[in-house]
Structure 1
Amino acid sequence: GALSAQDAQAAEQRALRFGTGPAAAAPRPPSAPDADEDEPAPRQGALVGTCEDMCPARERERRENLHDVQIFERVDPEDSGRTSAALAVRRFARTIDDPLPSDFRTRAALQRTMDHLRGILDRGDVRFGLVHKFLWDRYRAVRQDLYVQGIDDEFAVTVYEEIVRFHIMCEHELAGEDQSVTEMEGFNSHLNIEQMNKSLISLSDMYDKLAEAGRPQPKGTPVSRENCANDRSRMQLSPLMQLILAEAEFRAYHLLSLMAQHGKFKGDQQSFLSTLQGLRADVRSAAPVLWVLRLQRAQASGNFVAFFKLVRGANYLMACLAHIYFVSVQRHALSVLAEALTVSAARPAAVEAAWLQRMLMLDSESRVVELCASVGFDAAPMSDGAQGIVLERGSDQDPPAPVQRTRCEQISDKAPATRSQAVTSSNAPAR
């Protein structure tokens, strides 16, 4: 179908970013007389894929025989033993017996795969958790194809950027739908963050290699310090500054993931600082990185008011990733408020749950009550009948009881109209 104006603009920006059009996705042999000198060859010894389908034929046949065709790949939704080249997508395999070039996809096939998976991402007729589980595996296989073939140029960068955004979006939108003993199909935040981190590390390596080679940059535009002014509105920025902001977006995500402890991942201040210091000055001074530094200062100093103000003003994906810290910041805020508002042991502070709901970016008063109970603060009606919380100094529970992180409606309201817009554009319009 025809591209929408927004899709056409996104395609134009991507072409500008890498100085290439859509046709450049398919590689040309470096030895060919008309080969583009800017098109890098695979690393020496790397396998070059020849599969032009989204799934190699021998894998497709094997999975049909095993009735291992997933719901999104089936010709008939009820038949797990039949798929087609137009539906099957290569799944991740930790080991591949006797790998052949025909087992790995060409750039053109990988591009078609990403386009196809984007369509599945936007499906509203199935539970999003099922979409995530399928794409989590298929994106991992895409990364494997790129790695095996030694593809780490601008094409790989755009693929990895989309995959990282997918994991960030899912980390927020699927919060609260956790996997459990009774619900094995639920969301596994730990595995999602793990793959996001691996993708970010690979992406950082690609940025470093491209910078060393003087790429990416608009053709004819030299990379120099003079070109790298501090960022303002993206609409007023030079093409080179747009490239810097694009890289800064993902460098910022990496820093944000290292900022403090979340889930089973411990905060690593040493890695945070070394990663920050390793950034080029133009990237380090770009808006996304500066925003993370402000958020880190607010979190580290216990300034929950500043923390939530920054999140409210952030774009959708940055807010999605900041959400991993919500419960710890909210609990700390309750302890600070109890300490500040309690007059004496005989006169604990009583505050309205609605006030805490607004202050701490919670979606409902019942969520306020649940969070407060997890740290030992009781609910009690106020004199006017409103739901209240008793914040008593020294009564907060340590360690707090487990509480499930759930998605925040204020963050979801920032999302663009479709999920595919969220993963392909950092400045997609809000709903």
Structure 2
Amino acid sequence: MNTSRRKSRKSFSSSMGGRGHQSNASEEAESSKGVSIRGRILEDEDRHQSIESIHVSSTFPSIVGTCTLMCPARERVQRERLRDLSVFERLNGHLGKTSPSLAVKKVKFYIVSHHKLLWSNCNPNISSMHYLNLEQLRKSLSSLYDMYDANRKSSSISKNEAEFRSFYVLLHLSSNSQSVGGSLSLWFQRLASPILKSKEMCFTRKVLRFFRLGNYKCFFATIATESSYLQYCLMEPYINELRILVVSYINYGGYAHSPYPLAQLSKLLRMKESDMESLCNACGLETSIDKVGNKFLPTKQATFHPPKGGFQNYSFLGLEKLQRHTRDEDCITTNQAS
């Protein structure tokens, strides 16, 4: 009796186990079938959306902007009336006055900040600000160039495009400061012919050639006669770099018994004589004075070294003229707009 019960239980459990396996298999099959159905539904939805997007893009034309100003005239007048102007947009610091060339021109703000922050590099906090400002300047220029390229129509050139294109070159005067995008020669090849022939780009290419050839006399003379204030702000680090190089050349290449007149050297480097003497001292060189009061730089001094602690705010003869010319241009542009 017990044996028969055990057999019946065994056969019952085995039959139930078989049905359990069959049930699991059917459930898995149904599950996989549901997954494949959902997958097909999602694929159909994606295909429908892509077709719909193609239809929309072909039905509605692309939006093309027509405003050539960074800030429309009506908006600019309203912001002047409400005194809603950022510091870098104000004409001569006036809270309620701007110009088409200043309004929302953050690039110019970064360039002037680059010039102001340069003299505070000895402070670690200011030094980091100078680096961040330079990065923002490069990003702003890159965005501006993308806008120029996107809005290019036939051979038309934006009014300030040549000037803003020249800023890129001036940031890379030194052969050690090439950008990630490649060499300057390749960059020049991508420019439109009218930009290459513009006075801003002709000036930029001249100072680039003079700087890399070490022709300091033509380099400083060209800056003094042809540079704009913003261009000068970008070139200032290289101006001081070349000044130090010239001082080292004169010190090592001069005659020991023939001191170099500081007045002549300061004239060549476009500096005040007092600043010229300060630069020589910062380079570890001593100066002398004769009985009449003329100052000289004795040569062959073994104590020469680059200035420590960053550059001082040395003068550049003719800078006031550049600043005044920039202010006059902004005033003329404002009067024409009004």
Give TM-score scaled by structure 2 length: 0.62
Which structure is higher in helix share?
2
Match of 2:185 in 1: 273
After superposition, give the CA deviation of every residue in 1:348-380 in whole Å (9 maximum; x if it has no partner). 541232222221122x33321221123332112
Amino acid in structure 2 at the alignment position of 1:195: Q
Match of 1:199 in 2: 140
Match of 2:288 in 1: 380
Match of 2:268 in 1: 359
Match of 2:308 in 1: 401
Match of 2:166 in 1: 252
The answer to whether the aligner puts 1:171 opposite 2:104 as a matched pair is no
Cα distance in 2, alignment partners of residues 192 and 424 from structure 1: 29
After superposition, give the CA deviation of every residue in 1:137-178 in whole Å (9 maximum; x if it has no partner). xxxxxxxxxxxxxxxxxx9x9866x22122223333564355
1:163 and 1:422, CA in 2 relative to 1: closer, same or farther beyond 3 A? farther
- Secondary structure of 1:388 counterpart: strand
Cα distance in 1, alignment partners of residues 126 and 235 from structure 2: 25
After superposition, give the CA deviation of every residue in 1:224-271 in whole Å (9 maximum; x if it has no partner). 4xxxxxxxxxxxxxxx5xx4562111111111112217xxxx511743
The answer to whether the aligner puts 1:305 opposite 2:217 as a matched pair is yes
- Secondary structure of 2:231 counterpart: helix
5+ residue gaps, structure 1, are: 1-34, 42-105, 126-154, 215-222, 225-239
2:85 corresponds, among 116, 119, 125, to: 116
1:186 and 1:277, CA in 2 relative to 1: closer, same or farther beyond 3 A? closer
1:248 and 1:124, CA in 2 relative to 1: closer, same or farther beyond 3 A? closer
Superposition deviation, residue 299 in structure 1: 0.6
Percent of aligned positions with the same letter in both sequences?
Answer: 21
User: Which is greater in Rg?
Assistant: 2
The answer to whether the aligner puts 1:39 opposite 2:8 as a matched pair is no
Cα distance in 2, alignment partners of residues 354 and 200 from structure 1: 39
Amino acid in structure 2 at the alignment position of 1:260: S
1:333 and 1:170, CA in 2 relative to 1: closer, same or farther beyond 3 A? same
After superposition, give the CA deviation of every residue in 1:277-303 in whole Å (9 maximum; x if it has no partner). 221222122221121111011111111
Match of 1:391 in 2: 299
- Is residue 374–residue 403 contact of structure 1 (8 Å, CA) maintained in 2? no
- Is residue 121–residue 310 contact of structure 2 (8 Å, CA) maintained in 1? no
Superposition deviation, residue 120 in structure 1: 4.7
Give TM-score scaled by structure 1 length: 0.50
Superposition deviation, residue 321 in structure 1: 1.9
Structure 2 counterparts to residues 104-143 of structure 1, below 5 A: 116-117=85-86, 120=90, 122-123=92-93
Please, what is the CA RMSD of the aligned residues?
4.1
- Is residue 122–residue 420 contact of structure 1 (8 Å, CA) maintained in 2? no
Match of 1:285 in 2: 197
- Is residue 348–residue 393 contact of structure 1 (8 Å, CA) maintained in 2? no
- Is residue 165–residue 422 contact of structure 1 (8 Å, CA) maintained in 2? no
Amino acid in structure 2 at the alignment position of 1:166: F
Cα distance in 1, alignment partners of residues 261 and 151 from structure 2: 54
Amino acid in structure 2 at the alignment position of 1:355: Q
5+ residue gaps, structure 2, are: 1-60
1:274 and 1:119, CA in 2 relative to 1: closer, same or farther beyond 3 A? closer
